[in-house]
Amino acid sequence: MKMNDAFLASMHEAMQLLQTAGPMEATEAIQRALRRHSSVEVRAATAAPMPAQVVERLLTHDKAAAQTGAVAGEPADAAAVHARGTDAAGPDSAAARAPAPQSPLASATAQAGHFSQRTFANHAGSRSYKLYMPAGRHSKPMPLVVMLHGCTQDADDFAAGTRMNELADRVGFVVLYPIQPADANASKCWNWFRPGDQQAERGEPSLIAGMTREVIASHGIDTRRVYVAGLSAGGAMAAVLIQRYPGLFAAAGIHSGLPAGCAHDLPSALGAMRGGKGVGRSRAGVPLMAPSRPMIVFHGDADKTVHPSNGSRLVAPFEQGEARTDKQRETVRAGRDYTRHRITTPAGIDAQYWVIHGAGHAWSGGSRSGTYTDPKGPDASAEMLRFFLAHPRAD
């Protein structure tokens, strides 16, 4: 058999493993094939991105469903934005009574993983967190995604709205949900605007980083694939964490959030949320660093809670100098149009900025079972994961 034929056979084996055994096994098969059929030494699986064709196969959406308005398992006439206790469709409407089409994510496995709650404590205090271990057996270290909920939410609500646990079962990664209690903030917001909670090894960043390290140590996580994402106040805290802990987190996903250091107290936080300027240096005098890790940003251009200008400010540091940029608008027949900006810094650090046209303050493509979700938007969870797995930490 010729080497090319053998390599193609190995790729066919990998695709079969993807269908029968799972993505991690398929990745191992591809890595074996590369080592066997190439004279160039490749990095170990923990140092290289999951092969693009595997990620694409796992996360490709049902285009036929999208054309009819069923976005990631949501009915076409689902309410665009949901807050706690509200449903624009109404509990007695025909849309509410009709069964929703089965999500391609949910149908990927009939077995659910394990969701448990624990507590982490250090010099800054203590916080509870929930940890989701995906279904199935996983012989290799898995990636970890840290998910920071928004104000008034909790871990269960955020997991339901983003459907990140369903993705975890399908792809094979661990999900950590830190929990902000009401006694730390009356609205259960992360205190991203306080100088004491904007620095490494202090306040809430130290608690989130500490529980992340705890999970890495206790569950044998792939340390090159640790990511952080958040919504609103959680997104703003994710922006702090990716700046202050570039040695811990490989990339960040920020949905409807704000840049690190754009506020130093509650009044300046409210001003930043309304679109006021102030990015550049916190009152604590800590200079903000140039981007050192990749970032993907989502923001609705009709957001009345956090002004859309904050999305632009999050990616502005990536656009400095001779950055490479690309912008593409996508028109969706039944759903929300969006514009995707791709940016690569002169140092080779990637960013993406998704502007969701007509969307408010809500997780794009989220499920109706959680709060602050917009089922009609593109699937932010899947797109974040696609971006994350393509960007492992290389140093």
User: Would you please indicate which residues are annotated as catalytic (active-site) residues?
Assistant: 232
- Please tell me the distance from the alpha carbon of residue 54 to that of residue 76, in angstroms, as a whole number: 29
- Looking at the DSSP bridge assignments, the partners of residue 230 are 148, 254
